[in-house]
Amino acid sequence: MSSTERGPTAASRTVRLVTLGCARNEVDSEELAARLESAGWTLADDEDDDGASVVLVNTCGFIQAAKEDSISEILSAAQSGRPVVAAGCLAERYGAELADALPEAEVISFDDYAAVAERLDGVLAGERRPAHTPRDRRRLLPLAPADRQTGGPYIPGHGSPAPVGSTGSITAAAERAGFLLPARGCCAAGCRGGSPRR
């Protein structure tokens, strides 16, 4: 059995990770990088663009300019002839629609992050997985780690934190305040799965 039949070789498992957008995307990119390195992938230097076998673009979908930058980066990476994987907010928000519009890239979801090395191995092997159907990921989270143990989220100007375990009262407080917080949100604008209601 040849090495190509067995899957990607260690030498071919090099990824260029491009991070666009906010600080939350930087954190997500660090998570993706750590997962990839622990699975034997090598991160290419930004200057060593030719050394990457795959380009992973962590996109932003917050405002129109960020969406355009993300699409431009995906198309630019595809011109290199290497496989391109789109992750991040734009990929999450548009899923299959983005995959249909940009066949140059494999689109992955936040749910794929735990298996990102496996997903990139599949891309190197020429596999094409169907992109996800976007879903509303908004849910309430306590604002600080301490609140997670002592109480619920605090919405300024709307009373004290809700008691632990009172999901109904947390949701009701948010509804009264007129918004929901994004689940993995980088900001209250909701680029992690929808816009807040105001």
Per-residue pLDDT tens listing for the chain (198 residues): 333 444 455 558 999 999 999 888 999 999 999 999 999 999 997 665 677 999 999 999 989 999 999 999 999 999 989 999 999 999 999 999 999 999 999 999 999 999 999 999 999 999 999 999 988 776 655 555 554 445 555 555 555 555 545 555 555 655 565 544 444 444 444 454 444 333
Is there a contact between 39 and 32 (Cβ–Cβ < 8 Å)?
no
The span from the CA of 73 to the CA of 145, in Å, is 35
The span from the CA of 74 to the CA of 9, in Å, is 25
The SS3 of residue 56 is strand
The span from the CA of 59 to the CA of 161, in Å, is 34
The span from the CA of 66 to the CA of 22, in Å, is 10
pTM (whole model) above 0.95: no
